[in-house]
């Protein structure tokens, strides 16, 4: 039984054409209790993403979600969310934007470093794999220090998805264990969570983002807040591989996942 999906993109995101109505119908079909719509907002990127627009039109987006939230509230809780593409220099800007609107839930995701998107060659061409990974984790750490207006850190180690063939698909976790621990400790002190992003399975990496051992480490260090999200850009991916995520959490002794209202966490028991 899937409880909720906390990472869903609609056609408000530059890289999705899925209609919100179709997303809601699919969530009802799956008998989900809650969904969070988390469309992309990525500011200050050089070149953009193949010409796609990653600036979210909040003055249209928020009223639309408010209307749908009200209309469907008896059958499905719809959370007003956003996936904010954070960079370490954007904390102040992020705070201004997020505090202006009635968000339930914000995913903080590092999609770019030094204003370069991780899926573009320009970021990778002058770096070894390790240099790129080090920069990426450092950016996450510094961005967490730069603001408080988020709920969970998105797809923590998804950088394995990118880079040329000799650079993708592997992270030297031992090498980065100190900085990853620092990231978790910072999140925990700030009362922030992580997400289990199930898209890694669809991206043929056969794992969650972050990987099992990192999820386990977050809880070992005292973390308590976790959401599960499909990162779906089409309705048919909603709730995919959640059974595997619940089974994994239970296998490490985690019994609860988080829900968010007005950016405040509460807990739901995994059945």
Q: Which residues bind Zn ion (CB under 5 A)?
A: 83, 109, 231
DSSP, res 236? G
Nearest distance from residue 234's CB to Zn ion, in Å? 12
Q: For residues 239 and 202, is the Cβ–Cβ distance under 8 A?
A: no
Pick the closer one to Zn ion by CB: 83 or 104: 83
Pick the closer one to Zn ion by CB: 18 or 83: 83
Nearest distance from residue 111's CB to Zn ion, in Å? 6
Question: Angle at Cα 257 formed by Cα 1 and Cα 39, nearest 5°?
Answer: 90
Dihedral (CA of 152, 196, 78, 58) sign: positive
Q: For residues 175 and 104, is the Cβ–Cβ distance under 8 A?
A: no
Pick the closer one to Zn ion by CB: 83 or 139: 83
Pick the closer one to Zn ion by CB: 73 or 140: 140
Nearest distance from residue 148's CB to Zn ion, in Å? 20
The residue sitting closest to Zn ion, measured at its beta carbon, is: 109
Nearest distance from residue 155's CB to Zn ion, in Å? 6
Among the listed residues 214, 268, 217, the one whose alpha carbon sits nearest the alpha carbon of residue 246: 268
Long-range contacts at 91-97 (CB < 8 A, ≥ 24 apart): 91/143, 91/145, 91/146, 91/147, 92/146, 92/147, 93/43, 94/146, 94/147, 94/149, 94/150, 95/147, 95/148, 95/149, 97/41, 97/58
**Token pair 């470093």 in the structure block, residue:** 113
Cis check: omega of the bond before 210, within 30 degrees of 0? yes
Nearest distance from residue 37's CB to Zn ion, in Å? 11
DSSP, res 205? S
Nearest distance from residue 271's CB to Zn ion, in Å? 26
Residue 247: which residues within 8 A CB-CB, separation 6 or more? none
Pick the closer one to Zn ion by CB: 34 or 83: 83
């Amino acid at each position: 039984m899937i409880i909720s999906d906390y990472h869903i993109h609609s056609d408000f995101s530059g890289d999705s054409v899925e209609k919100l109505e179709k997303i809601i119908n699919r969530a009802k079909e799956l008998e989900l209790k809650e969904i969070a719509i988390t469309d992309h907002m990525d500011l200050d990127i050089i070149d953009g993403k193949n010409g796609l627009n990653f600036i979210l039109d909040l003055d249209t987006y928020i009223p639309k979600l408010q209307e749908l939230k009200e209309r469907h509230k008896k059958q499905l809780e719809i959370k007003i969310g956003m996936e904010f593409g954070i960079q370490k220099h954007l904390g102040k800007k992020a705070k201004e934007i997020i505090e202006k609107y009635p968000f339930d839930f914000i995913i903080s995701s590092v999609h770019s470093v030094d204003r370069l998107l991780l899926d573009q060659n320009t970021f990778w061409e002058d770096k070894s794999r390790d240099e790129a990974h080090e920069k990426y984790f450092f950016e996450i750490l510094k961005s967490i220090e730069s603001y408080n207006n988020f709920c969970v850190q998105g797809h923590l180690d998804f950088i394995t998805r990118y880079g040329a063939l000799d650079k993708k698909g592997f992270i030297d976790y031992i090498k980065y264990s100190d900085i990853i621990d620092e990231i978790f400790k910072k999140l925990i002190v700030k009362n922030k969570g992580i997400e289990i992003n199930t898209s890694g399975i669809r991206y043929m990496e056969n794992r969650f983002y972050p990987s099992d051992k990192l999820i386990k480490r977050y809880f070992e260090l005292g973390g308590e807040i976790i959401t599960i999200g499909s990162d779906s850009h089409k309705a048919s991916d909603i709730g995919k591989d959640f059974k595997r995520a619940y089974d994994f959490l239970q296998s490490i002794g985690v019994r609860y996942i988080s829900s968010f209202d007005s950016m405040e966490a509460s807990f739901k028991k995994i059945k």
